[in-house]
Amino acid sequence: MSNTVYLTRNGLLEPLGQSQVFAYLRGLSREHSITLITYEKAEDWEDSARMARARADCDAHGIRWLPQRFHYSPRIIAPALSMLRMTWLAWHEVRKGRAELIHARSYIPAAVALAVHRLSGVPFIFDMRALWPEELITAGRLRRGSYIHRAISWIERRCLARSAAVVSLTKAAVLHLRQEYPKELEGQRISVIPTCADLERFIPAPERACGPMVHGCIGTVLSGWFRTDWLASWLAVAAARDPQAQFDIATRDNAEQVRHALDPQGKLANRMRIGPRASEDMPKAVQKHDISIMFYAGGEVSELGRSPTRMAEVLGCGLPVVANGGVGDVASVIEENRVGVLVEGPEPQQIHDALDALDALMQDPELPSRCRKTAEEIFSLDAGTEAYRSLYADLLAERPR
């Protein structure tokens, strides 16, 4: 078996860590000896039972897990220190002969992999996921042309040129990158692997529960690139149209801040539930919804690379999605497969129009099966794992022995 080091600043105990990291590694671990380095949030470290279960899951698949503590602050120093720690850990794995390939998930791990590659020659995959610098600018957390922006762009350019392969979530992002970095990407191996879901976990509910319609939303809404104003408008109009409707925001974001952003006057009161779910409970949480809402800052360059994990999981559960255009391939998936509705804007009339279209769509008895089929055809975990397996095999075969 070959030795691979997987680097990510996400936590294994986070929903994303389970769905977009461990889900793939379970399959890859059959043919590769994997060392996994993650950064776990404080609240997850405190849950010793879940940490123990995660450790047992890794052991059962032969994955050597090296969890580190995630620090939010100081804002610039904390990421820098985590990079130094990750670099030391990755370099240690190389020195011990446990790294023939480094898989770096997103930009900071890729910068680490680049440094280790320069020191050791070990090839690395720049699994960029999305266009992170543009996401930060869209979220208002980074100013274009600032020192930090120039530093991140320099890392992006170097990693695109020096990596053994680049992985992108969307074809749209690849087209943008080829325009921005034609020299760096000349002859570069690029794989497009969209966000996948574990469709053995995210399955339709055995029976649809009777009762009020539940409008769901899963994942972060306070990221800065989620349109909370659109979501607030949707909730207000939907609540007025249907006095029985319920709203469930399954998020690890601060519940008080979320409620203030979505229902500042408290009109929804007990009709809206806000709170986190453990990753193992997410499939059941989604199954209790009737629809799922996701509004991103569409139309920005940052959104060209976005492939929402939540969309794959929701469709896997046989539910339609409510979204906006200008976000990766979201609009085309919805329109071509008739698995949801697109909202044109946050104005009340635009929301009413989308709700009318949703009411008509949900009369279609084939909708749940069509949502599930779309998930299987586009977002299958098996297909995603096979794409990574093929990429690993090609890169390792090319490495001099």
Annotated domain spans of the chain: 2-194+381-398, 214-378
The H-or-E segment that residue 315 falls in is: helix 309-316
Of 186 and 297, the structure prediction assigns the larger pLDDT to 186
How distant, in Å, are the alpha carbons of 251, 274, 292 from that of 254?
8, 9, 20
Average pLDDT over residues 278-299: 91
In the chain, the percentage of residues whose pLDDT exceeds 90 is: 77
* 181 vs 341: CA distance, rounded Å: 35
Residue 85 neighbours by CB distance under 10 Å: 15
Average pLDDT over residues 39-46: 93
Long-range contacts of 54-63 (CB under 8 A, 24+ apart): 54/12, 54/13, 57/22, 58/12, 61/25, 61/26, 61/29, 62/29, 62/33, 62/34, 63/25, 63/29, 63/34, 63/35, 63/36
The whole model's pTM is what?
Answer: 0.78
Note if the bond before 243 is cis, omega within 30 degrees.
Answer: no
SS3 284: helix
Q: How confident is the model at residue 73 (pLDDT cuts 50, 70, 90)?
A: confident
* 77 vs 30: CA distance, rounded Å: 38
SS3 69: strand
Domain 2-194+381-398 identical in fold to domain 214-378? yes
Question: How much is the pLDDT for 401?
Answer: 62
Q: For residue 275, is pLDDT > 80?
A: yes
Token pair recorded at residue 398? 């090319």
Question: How much is the pLDDT for 232?
Answer: 97
Supply the mean pLDDT for the chain: 93
Of 37 and 332, the structure prediction assigns the larger pLDDT to 37
Average pLDDT over residues 283-301: 91
Contact yes or no for 80/94 (Cβ under 8 A): no
* 7 vs 14: CA distance, rounded Å: 15
User: Could you give the dihedral angle defined by the CA atoms of residues 343, 345, 351 and 352, in that order, rounded to the nearest 10 degrees?
Assistant: -100
Q: Which fold has domain 2-194+381-398?
A: Rossmann fold (3.40.50)
Highest-pLDDT range among 304-318, 326-340, 350-364: 350-364
pLDDT tens per residue across span 212-240: 999 999 999 998 879 999 999 999 999 99
- CB within 8 A of 261, min separation 6: which ones? 221, 222, 228, 232
Average pLDDT over residues 345-367: 97
Cα radius of gyration (the chain): 21
The answer as to CATH 3.40.50.10490 being correct for domain 214-378 is: no
